[in-house]
Amino acid sequence: MIPRPNHPPAHAEANAWAEVLVRRGLLHATVLVPTGQWLVQHTADGPVHVLAGPSDIVELAAAIQHRIRSTRADTR
């Protein structure tokens, strides 16, 4: 397990994770809106989810990483 920092993630960290997830094809789109919320779409024809803030983007990235790693472990 990766140790979590004691501070909440900044928008820059969340933006970096969002960019990587989209670039790697793990999400279709992410958009930061002026309210500080994030709009996230997993697939092009899927629903748009609203995430409350940067912590939610980082948690989503962690969940996706966990899913990928546990899937890879199952195929070994």
12-62 pLDDT, tens digit each: 999 999 999 999 999 999 999 999 999 999 999 999 999 999 999 999 999
What φ, ψ does residue 50 adopt, rounded to 5°? -105, 120
- Single pTM value for the model: 0.80
Structure tokens at 4: 């979590």
Contact 51, 37 (CB under 8 A): yes
